[in-house]
Amino acid sequence: MNRPANDNETNARSRNGPEFSGALEGLKVLGVNDLSRYQAAVEAGQQKSWGYYFPFLLTRNRTGRNAILVVEDEGSLCVFNWKRANGIPRLDLAFAPLPLNPAVLRRCIERANEFNGDRSARVMRIDAKDVDAVRETSLRPRESRQQFIFAPKTYEDLGGKAFKTVRRNVALVDRLANVEVLPFSTSHAKDCHALLVNWKKAHREAFGSSGGAGTSRRAINFVGTLPESILRGEVVFVDGRLVAFAFGGEIRPGLACSFERKCDTSIPGLGYFQLRSLFRSFGGVEMINDGTDTGREGLRQLKTSFRPIEMHVEYRARQGSLRRSDR
């Protein structure tokens, strides 16, 4: 079965990437130097989902375990997810080609099927607007998750009944001594990592999982390697102690991503204060995608209290029976 020639090279920071063969021929590992063509593809496709955020894809590159692979086909950017699970490598589409072309999508699925040696290849993320075009192929889309879309300009004064819960929680932090919000710099990285260790421990005790702490750790390390419009952060100090960090940036013009947020959950209202502060930092952007609630009731309550302007539906797809004309 074909696989990356050298797993030790499959990381986003490699300059040229490994040489692939067989079903992977022509693919390369997504890296920082792919930003321009990737952003152009997302803008052309007018994508909206959180998972299209470029820094998120970079954090998926994990040596020997996972790699985001890309290639162009008929003007569309094809993005694959290579992973090794239990010692067995497999290939799926991270999402449908950008912009979506059903013929290109069919070829991508054929490539992944060839690599996997069966018909198990999937499309992991499909924007709602693309789902009808995906149905033109042999794929069977189904709703996967809903994501919260907010309008950042809404959160300047928090007036009115609608934002009573947010206003009350933000006030809890405003009343604390020596609250300071600063742009993230590399000098804050050590304290952010220390906060993350404690947050991960508390989250595992409460929910039985790390809550994506690995992605947060890699995001901290990526800040500074990309333009600030794509990835920037801010930190919150209370009485000289770093108690929260948040990162985000542009998915495409007019749409930002609230990427990673972690805070000291023992401080009442801090999650609300942090989210409102991040939203205000994107005041010039029309919309911001804050992802899902990860199935957590408390997180759902927090996000709902900010009155999303839309719940964006994302799909994933498996294969159905191929028509003879598609074989």
Rounded Cα distance between 8 and 28, Å, is 14
Cβ burial, residue 82 (10 Å; 0-12/13-18/19+):
buried
Phi/psi at 305 (5° precision): -65, -20
User: 246: which strand partners?
Assistant: 234, 261
Is residue 308 helix, strand or coil? coil
Phi/psi at 103 (5° precision): -65, -40
**Residue found under tokens 């964006």:** 312
- Residue closest to 133 by CA, chosen among 307, 4, 315, 272: 315
Instruction: Provide the pLDDT for residue 211.
Output: 87
Instruction: Provide the pLDDT for residue 61.
Output: 95
Instruction: Provide the pLDDT for residue 9.
Output: 34
Rounded Cα distance between 251 and 35, Å, is 11
Instruction: Provide the pLDDT for residue 16.
Output: 41
Q: Give the count of beta carbons closer than 10 Å to the beta carbon of residue 135.
A: 14
Helix (H) or strand (E) holding 278: helix 270-281
Instruction: Provide the pLDDT for residue 18.
Output: 54
* Distance between start and end Cα atoms, the chain: 21
Instruction: Provide the pLDDT for residue 4.
Output: 46
Residue 118 CB-half CA count within 13 A: 5
Q: Which residues of the chain have pLDDT under 70?
A: 1-19, 321-327
The pTM of this model reads 0.90
Rounded Cα distance between 190 and 192, Å, is 5
Instruction: Provide the pLDDT for residue 179.
Output: 97
Rounded Cα distance between 162 and 156, Å, is 13
Instruction: Provide the pLDDT for residue 322.
Output: 43
Phi/psi at 260 (5° precision): -135, 130
